[in-house]
Amino acid sequence: MLKSVTTHEATAADDAEQELTDGFNLMIDALKLNGLDTIYGVPGIPITDFGRMAQAAGIRVISFRHEQNAGNAAAIAGFLTKKPGICLTVSAPGFLNGLTALANATTNCFPMILISGSSEREIVDLQQGDYEEMDQLAIAKPLCKAAFRVLHAQDIGIGLARAIRAAVSGRPGGVYLDLPGKLFGQVMDAQAGTKSLVKVIDAAPAQIPAPAAVKRALDVLKSAKRPLIILGKGAAYAQADDEIRALVEKSGIPFLPMSMAKGLLPDTHPLCAGAARSTVLKDSDVVMLIGARLNWLLSHGKGKSWGDAPKKFIQIDIEPKEMDSNVEIVAPVVGDVGSCVSALLEVINAGWSPPPAEWTGAVSKKREDNVAKMAPKLMNNNSPMDYHGALGALRTIVKERPDAILVNEGANTLDLARGIIDMYQPRKRLDVGTWGVMGIGMGFAIAAAIETGKPVLAVEGDSAFGFSGMEVETICRYNLPVCVVIFNNDGIYRGTDVNPSGGSDVAPTVFVKGSRYDKMMEAFGGVGVNVTTPDELKRAVNAAMDSGKPTLINAVIDPAAGSESGRIGNLNPQSKLSKKK
Ligand code: OXT
Ligand code: ADP
Ligand code: MG
């Protein structure tokens, strides 16, 4: 008689027998013991029964149409909750489909665990052609923070514990857990099984910064005439929202939020320098990075964007190896954001002189000028819409519904939305992150709705949406409060490119003109709306958010409105010779 070790429905007959458990039940019990109550995945051999049994045991099992989307859902669940998001895939092809999301999670420092069924070791290692044969552990290893395989049922508890710790401790990231099919069926004594499980205590221990490091950082900060704080998604992840707000306000230092750190303090905060980005990067003399890396998104901390004036960097990060990765960090503060910011605050609270008014005044002036320049563009009611008109409408909606979660991907659709739509609360903006990856849209939207219960507004380029579009069926199946707005400009960046050869194929960046993505949502019982003006867009989104019904709005955008690669055209090598041909 096989029994889950946590569900005891013993009958008199059972008592006479030895109580047994198996790999399926042990894995479920191990997840539950650690508060991991949601699985994102795609069923199939050898994990179909695992999903069924997990659901029967009270775990929420959200079934997707493609593993990449399930993986993205797990990754963003990890970002939102600080618990590793769980993605469950079948062997080889399913595993590979999930791998992009695992690698992306690792790159973005989101904690997730990709659990994949796999084929039998004996056959895989002899390369004898098993069903979906693949050495998955070896393939996953270079793409994630840690990878483990469990071969014996009694090691399931330890295996999951190692995976949880690896995912959330230190710099968070993706972890792979390989479970060969045979493991699930392995039977063992139920009591011994219970004992073998591990409840992970303090999975992400606080990392307290050294007092000398804190002092060094404050000394540098005090010496600044034009200080700047840059908040990154590590700061958002840390959930030290009150401390971060206090640090900014008590120090009086302007802050620049990276994309997913928007809303830690409202974008409308008087110290927000989001609308004065180039000025503060160029003119600041001391920059304190909090949970943000000096990677391509910050021009590696050097070059034209950072100006000629000498610059000193202070960096708060949990990962010691991040220091000096691109430029010298004169004051590294290694620790978790909450502990580091609290330590800084203690000193600042004891007495602090705000930065010179000349500096804060110059930042405010630049911000106000840029906001004023943008304002009239946002008020147009043109048809077909341009990005500014459409985003002006969405901006008002987010202002009125600050607790809604905004998911955003595309090129122009991403870059312009990032600047135009102000955010007011932490962790409400979820986007393409460090890799600029298309395809996060529906996975992020689904997990955001599931994990937070809040309404979700997904603003998607028509190309971006295509990478995960089939999941609108998933949104309808679970009846999630997700409103997808597709900025339909007939293609990638623009819908106006032509085939230079004159042949009958359209240009590589161009899609079917006049597509009606709204019909996709209708196909599964959701609401589809086609809109051609900002006013119509606003009405349709408000109706969707009020009703909470799955909705897809096809927003017709002028195909000529976008620019090549959005705002990162400078990164796109373009041939000078091609035009001469
Ligand atoms: O300070 P200044 O004066 O300079 O002004 C700045 C701000 O101060 C100001 N600002 C404001 N002014 C007024 N008011 C407000 N509120 C305000 N806020 C800001 O505005 C300017 C600009 O500010 P910003 O944006 O902060 O500054 P900047 O310099 O742009 O920032 C630099 C960056 C690097 C931080 C920023 O640009 C950024 O975060 N960029 C991220 C870009 C990114 O990741 N893009 C996605 C990838 S693009 C490409 O690769 C695509 N692909 C290929 C592909 C991908 N990615 N993935 C996969 C799996 N396969 C293929 C594809 C297929 S995009 C794409 C699809 C595109 O087509 P779609 O149809 O989906 O989309 P459309 O383009 O719409 O057609
Ligand atoms: P952004 O793209 O917003 O600039 P990045 O992803 O580049 O942000 O940087 C996030 C940084 O935050 C990473 O270097 C990571 O190590 C760090 N980090 C993540 N969580 C924490 C935490 N709890 N405390 C301190 N640093 C953290
Ligand atoms: Mg487009």
The tens digit of pLDDT for each residue in 155-208 reads 999 999 999 999 999 999 999 999 999 999 999 999 999 999 999 999 999 999
pTM: 0.97
Write down the pLDDT at residue 178: 98
211-364 belongs to which homologous superfamily? TPP-binding domain (3.40.50.1220)
Residue closest by Cα to atom 54 of ligand 1: 438
If you measure from the C-alpha of residue 292 to the centroid of ligand 2, how many angstroms do you get, rounded to a whole number? 5
Write down the pLDDT at residue 578: 73
Write down the pLDDT at residue 182: 97
Q: What is the DSSP string of 492-528?
A: SS-S----TT--SSPPTTB--TT--THHHHHTTTSEE
The domain defined by 5-196 carries CATH number 3.40.50.970: yes
- In the DSSP assignment, the letter for residue 352 is -
Domain boundary assignment for the chain: 5-196, 211-364, 379-497+504-563
Which tokens belong to 230? 């840059």
If you measure from the C-alpha of residue 237 to the centroid of ligand 2, how many angstroms do you get, rounded to a whole number? 8
Neighbours of 402 (CB within 10 A): 13
Assign domain 379-497+504-563 to its CATH architecture.
3-Layer(aba) Sandwich (3.40)
Contact 487, 557 (CB under 8 A): yes
Contact 113, 87 (CB under 8 A): yes
Contact 333, 320 (CB under 8 A): no
Same fold flag, 5-196 and 211-364: yes
Chain segment 254-292, per-residue pLDDT in tens: 999 999 999 999 999 999 999 999 999 999 999 999 999
Q: Is the peptide bond before 320 cis (omega within 30 degrees of 0)?
A: no
What residue ranges line ligand 1, CB within 6 angstroms? 259, 274-279, 297, 370-371, 374, 410-415, 418-419, 432, 436-439, 461-464, 487, 489, 492-493, 562, 565-568
Q: For a pocket test of ligand 1, which of 260, 298, 363, 463 has the largest count of ligand atoms closer than 8 A to its C-beta?
A: 463
Closest ligand 1 atom, residue 374 Cα: 13
Which tokens belong to 174? 């993706």
Chain segment 98-145, per-residue pLDDT in tens: 999 999 999 999 999 999 999 999 999 999 999 999 999 999 999 999
- In the DSSP assignment, the letter for residue 275 is G
Q: For a pocket test of ligand 2, which of 239, 281, 298, 337 has the largest count of ligand atoms closer than 8 A to its C-beta?
A: 337
Q: Is 18 helix (H, G, I), strand (E, B) or coil?
A: coil
pLDDT tens series, the chain, 581 aa:
455 554 444 455 555 578 999 999 999 999 999 999 999 999 999 999 999 999 999 999 999 999 999 999 999 999 999 999 999 999 999 999 999 999 999 999 999 999 999 999 999 999 999 999 999 999 999 999 999 999 999 999 999 999 999 999 999 999 999 999 999 999 999 999 999 999 999 999 999 999 999 999 999 999 999 999 999 999 999 999 999 999 999 999 999 999 999 999 999 999 999 999 999 999 999 999 999 999 999 999 999 999 998 999 999 999 999 999 999 999 999 999 999 999 999 999 999 999 999 999 999 999 999 999 999 999 999 999 999 999 999 999 999 999 999 999 999 999 999 999 999 999 999 999 999 999 999 999 999 999 999 999 999 999 999 999 999 999 999 999 999 999 999 999 999 999 999 999 999 999 999 999 999 999 999 999 999 999 999 999 999 999 999 999 999 999 999 999 999 999 999 988 876 44
Residue closest by Cα to atom 9 of ligand 2: 292
